[in-house]
Structure 1
Amino acid sequence: MQQKLFSGRAVLEERAAYEVHQIEEAQTSYENVYWFARALIDSEHGSPGSDTTRMLQLSQIIATVLSLPESKFRSSKKVIWSFLQRPHRLGTQIASKIQKLIEYLDPLISTRKDLEVLKFTIDHIIVPTNTLLRQVPTSDREVAEQLIREYLTEEGESGLKDVILMWDRIGQRRCMETERVIVVAGFRILRATLDDLLREGKLTRLDADQTLTAFVQEFERRLVRGVRPRRAGHSLEDVTGVILDHFGITDFTDAPEHIKTVFEVDKVIPLADGWRIGVSCKRTLRERWKQAASLDERRLDDEKIRRTLHVITYTSDLTVPKVEAIGESRGVVYIPDDDQFLRNHRDDPDVSAYVRPMTAFISDLRDAIRLGKATAIPR
């Protein structure tokens, strides 16, 4: 049995090596579909591909260039580069990035076929992907909110830990299911186009395979680098608001961007005496403690921040120095009641002052709001 398994694996490895060799030997201009798509979206190149209108205009310009005689091909490429440079003032950062893009693309386009492939990439990869990405959910709030509210009604404050995890998992799964539908739709549309071109003898099966894989790779890359991180950030800001609202704490606002960046809070709650409390709900402490360690009393006073409350569900990166850094900057960390870190440091006055059980979060916050002073939250 084991010998058969080894034999089967050897056959697979041999087949894979053969296919790799065949592809390397038979490379065509369509290999550049992936590299063109990547270059046009790359932030190091100014991301001109994210502007659908500009890309459609560029496609039209390329079509015009392709209609010119072969003898004018090289000089006409300058028209394309000029279009890419046109809206950007010389000497600016974006102009420099576009110049890098041109320097990258120029050696890849040495024949009319290469230029045709660039146009094909814009028409069938860049523009459709831009359109499809607009249909990808930017927030998972609608997906998760109803279930979360029902759960909090049943469990009360003891359900806070589960709620943050549930929100993350439910929303993420539903959004990724939608992504799957969208990418499959895009794949099917592109495959139908390629099948037509195959029947007409305008490209080979390898050309089609290179194009389809380029589409899927680039679509996933744009999801990973752009859509999902933004959605994750918004998601946890949303759950903070839902939790506060569910427990009747409605006098809160989204933290202004400078407050959010400096103090790592999602919402701010005004107190009766003019001061504010900042609140965040996150998975981990992450780099938040470094931000806190760099704050001083004056900065907190300037922004009228009396206290920051951080609810976190995972404590794997939690350490005493991090907690102390948060505490010294008027912060309190709330972690699950049954967490080992809380049990280990419950009797340590230097740490327990700044780490509280998660079930105390809402009651602490209500006391602070009602009394309008920080002494309502145990120090």
Structure 2
Amino acid sequence: MLEFNHVTKRYGDGKPAVSHLNLKIEKGEFVCFIGPSGCGKTTTMKMVNRLIDITDGSILVDGKDIKEQNAVELRRSIGYVIQQIGLMPHMTIKENIVLVGTLLKWTKEQKDARARELLKLVDMPEDYLDRYPHELSGGQQQRIGVLRALAANPPLILMDEPFGALDPITRDSLQEEFKKLQKELDKTIVFVTHDMDEALKLADRVVIMRDGEVVQADTPDEIVRNPANEFVEEFLGKDRLIQGRPDVTTVGQIMASYPVTVQTGTTLRSAISTMRDRHVDSLLVVDADNVLKGFIDIEAINLNYKKADYVDAIMANNIFSVYQDSLLRDTVHKILRRGATYVPVVDERDKLAGIVTRATLANLVYDTIWGDGMELDGIAAAAE
């Protein structure tokens, strides 16, 4: 899909910003470039759509040398998302989304249909199409920036720190949303970031650069388990949970498989009985197909007991969840960041698969640091 052959970029001083880069990215692969400032990661990405010219070597997209293609046509065939978003303030959301379609001379019907189709992908209502960028939150604007990159259905999308300016919770949400979208649409993604957690979470392969050269290009697990050298170890950070327990990497490996639930349509009286019998203060709500719909807790029941009869009427449906194959380190960060006591685990169809609690994660951390307790016994015996 995308191939770098001995690619070098030199600026005026003659020093290479990128030196003899060789890398092949397969169709549908999500590759993150990361490294310290000035390492060449952004230069590498911008050479792909010819925003920066190559000094030596070649870049092939679908087997075609980009230097032999018209630069404007090339850019229109490649999606591009940046941190600053770059929405046109005087254009509606619909006009922003189909901007490339306008340049490609799509009909009004084609543009309307494509805008509505794309907005559904990120669960935004159609009436947003007539709004202007300033009427949207930062996270919503960034979603529109992503949709604009998808509008012409490009096989390749370049993303330059697209979530860097967002607050941590919005960023987490967009990362999850975009990774799911990428899997569904089978797009090839080249993603530049300075955040190692983001790279390890999103990428199929992480490319770590230093001084214009690739230091290591591997899967996230391989990089964490077998860093190529001391630079990679330092760049990763030695406090990462997975380094202590390389056998435990995903949420599915530690989740409890049978969380306490009630179905939609359950009466509040029945829900209270379930809470009492199972000694819990909140319940996950699922439908008849076990799809996660929300949750209720004691506080919500106390506030609404005389106003509602069924859990559907009072449940919170904006519940945060993670997938079974989510990396454990991400779930730790999210639970701590949100102050949550638990996180539901769902499969790719949003069916409830299990639950991860702070207690489970605490036990894992204790095991990581102190093993099964034998080390403490040894220390105590030595002290005596």
TM-score w.r.t. length of structure 1: 0.24
Bigger relative CO (Cα 8 Å, ≥ 6 apart): 2
Please identify which structure carries the higher strand content: 2
Computing the radius of gyration from Cα coordinates, the structure with the larger value is 1
Please identify which structure carries the higher helix content: 1
